Amino acid sequence: MFDQFLKRGRRAALAALLIALGLGGAHAAQAADVVLRVDGLACPFCAFGIEKKLLAVPAVEGIDVRMNEGRVILRLREGERLDLAALDAAVEDAGFTLRKILIEDAVGTLSKGGAGELVLRCSAPPATFRLHLAGEDAAPGAEAGSTVAVSGTVEEYGADPAPLVVTSLRPVAPGSGEETR
Amino acid sequence: MRRGPGAPRSRASLGLATLVLLSCVAAPAAAHEPVFGVGPETIYKGGVGIELGYGYDDLGGRRDQLLNTEILYGATKDLSLTLEVPTLLRRETGLGSTSGLGDVLLRGKYRFWRRDRLGASERASVLLGVKFPTGAHHRSVRRGSGSFDALAGLSVAHESRRWYGFGTFRYVWRTEHDGFDRGDRVLFDVAAGFRPWLTEYLEPDLVLLLEWNGEWEGRDRLRGSRLGSTGGFTGWLGPTALLSYRNWMFKTGVQLPAVSDLNGGQKRPDLRTLAAIEYHF
């Protein structure tokens, strides 16, 4: 019995070392930051409803509520598709108003949509956005086939792909490691 | 998809039965609202709240120790149902004492208006309720009125990170039972409060309130004749506090009769107190 205990301990120590060295398997994709701007968040006790409802959305693993900023920061579950309409419904069912969704540093590949607009396909979280750019000069290097990191806001949640009003867009160099995000 | 005509009714019956059952096996519920009054708040869709409260009322000619159990259910994001089950631990009057189940109240609250802003919200709800004659009423000391009573009201509130304001008006129609007809009641509540520390989620949160509860009651009638020493007006005033952490809330308060204008030779009430704990899940 003591031998088994020692074996398990050695195995755990080896696993910890491998993880520390980055050899523990495939890199986990690092998700974009998704923040909800919620109106009506006045009391922490009532905010429990938002926790309860958002955690029922499959893509949401955890939340961090910032009462004084009216923000709810989402921790996303790997591999689950981000359904913006479900986030909107969850906030509404909790009795609050979703003002906008802030997407920060969503890394993906650009392609051309049916109407010639730019579409961003991200892997972490799996989501597709139709980009709204202020002008071509606002996003140099934004062309189909390129990999970019985009930040912006979404205010219409029902459309697929959701329209993302871009506040910043930058190219991501291949091999930089960011493209795994 | 269309359903058979019996489906909604059976579902409603099942829901009511569940509420009643829960009230028997579990303890206590409401939301962020005044301790002695009612606010327009509704619980989130599908949410359940349980509240267990202890109250001590010295109403002059009557002293009550009360265990109040409330079960709250969010049928939709705008509609909350509350089942209120009062249990008298002890009621003392000049005629003797009693204890046991009081009159059960089923109340619905529909929030018909909401305006949300950053860190603030204004809300308005209509209230409808029915009180059932579940308390014993064929004794010298009664625990219930013996009548089915109806409640209707309107409640509005402003709630922000720092300030609270509530205003509620309720009217209670009391029906006749065995020739005895208690006077209708009019209740109007005003409460103002503030949060001394702007705490974040998952931190203990304190809200302090000053509550005013005006209660006017019509004269009772016995076989059509008005009874002299019944009815009148009492205006209660006192501080209350709400202390919450995540989905737990502790609430307490005390009220004194700031104004008392009772008909006939009724004794002036002295005070009422309440301490309750509420849990949402």
Listed by start position, the domains of chain A span 33-180
Closest-CA residue of B relative to A46 is B32
**Residue A159, both tokens:** 């459309």
Backbone angles phi, psi at B224, to 5 degrees: 90, -15
Whether B204 shows a pLDDT value over 70: the answer reads yes
Domain at B191, CATH number: 2.40.160.40
Total number of domains in chain B: 1
B1 inside domain: no
Question: Residue A45 carries which DSSP code?
Answer: T
B254 inside domain: yes
Strand B221-222 versus strand A33-39 pairing type: unpaired
Taking the CA of residue B163 and the nearest CA in chain A, the distance in Å comes to 9
For testing contact with chain B, the best of A48, A52, A96 (most B CBs within 10 A): A48
User: Which residues constitute the domain of residue B77?
Assistant: 6-280
Contact predicate B177/B142, CB 8 Å: no
Closest-CA residue of A relative to B122 is A40
Count of other CB atoms within 10 angstroms of residue B39: 24
Closest Cβ opposite residue B247 in set A42, A48, A66: A48
Q: Does the beta-carbon distance from B32 to A41 stay under 8 Å?
A: no
For testing contact with chain B, the best of A46, A53, A66, A96 (most B CBs within 10 A): A46
Whether B18 shows a pLDDT value over 90: the answer reads no
**Residue B34, both tokens:** 């005044």
Taking the CA of residue A88 and the nearest CA in chain B, the distance in Å comes to 13
B64 inside domain: yes
- Residues in chain B closer than 8 A to A51 (CB atoms): 201, 246
pLDDT in tens, A75-116: 998 888 889 999 999 999 999 999 999 999 899 999 988 888
Taking the CA of residue B199 and the nearest CA in chain A, the distance in Å comes to 8
Taking the CA of residue A58 and the nearest CA in chain B, the distance in Å comes to 18
- Where does A33-180 sit in CATH, by number? 3.30.70.100
- Strand segments (E) across chain B: 48-58, 62-74, 79-93, 96-101, 105-117, 120-131, 149-160, 163-174, 176-177, 180-181, 185-194, 205-217, 221-222, 225-226, 232-245, 248-262, 271-280
pLDDT in tens, B63-79: 999 999 999 999 999 99
Q: What is the structure's pLDDT at A145?
A: 86
Q: Residue A161: which H helix or E strand, with range?
A: none
Backbone angles phi, psi at A104, to 5 degrees: -120, 130
Q: Residue B142: which H helix or E strand, with range?
A: none
Q: Does the beta-carbon distance from A42 to B120 stay under 8 Å?
A: yes
Closest-CA residue of B relative to A49 is B44
Q: Does the beta-carbon distance from B202 to A43 stay under 8 Å?
A: no
Closest-CA residue of B relative to A96 is B116
Q: What is the structure's pLDDT at B130?
A: 97
**Confidence class for position B17, pLDDT limits 50, 70, 90:** very low
